[in-house]
Amino acid sequence: MMRVVHKVWLDRGGKAFGDGPCDLLKGIEQTGSLHQAAADMGMSYSKAWRLIQTMEKRLGFALIERRIGGVSGGGSQTTSKAKTFMRRYEKFRAEVKDLTERTYQKHFGSVRLNH
């Protein structure tokens, strides 16, 4: 069975956003913690932190903000700008994935290969 594979990301003077960063931010939204989100992805805290820093620099806006104190002892949360950007990226991503698959089917759906 032949299939199409595709990768897509946003570039702004280097890789600025993509599936991995989006997943990390979603983890932060869900857990309220960069530590936890990184651990859930099998990523070291320092690597996750550097990734966020690099994306923020390239995109030009803050992606996460610290929550100080409180019952949970603080943590991180995505900024409102990050949330808007993530939702936009997720729609874009789903649409590109769907169009790539449809275009593949259009051109290669009828191709029969041996063995």
Task: Report the interface residues with a copy of itself, using CB under 8 A.
Answer: 1-12, 15-16, 59-61, 85, 88-89, 91-92, 95-96, 99-100, 103-104, 106-108, 111, 113-115
Please, what is the minimum distance in Å from the beta carbon of residue 3 to a copy of itself?
Answer: 5
Q: Which two tokens stand for residue 56?
A: 């923020």
Contact 59/16 with Cβ under 8 angstroms?
yes
Please, what is the minimum distance in Å from the beta carbon of residue 20 to a copy of itself?
Answer: 14
Q: At what angle do helices 19-31 and 80-108 cross, to 10 degrees?
A: 140
Please, what is the minimum distance in Å from the beta carbon of residue 22 to a copy of itself?
Answer: 13
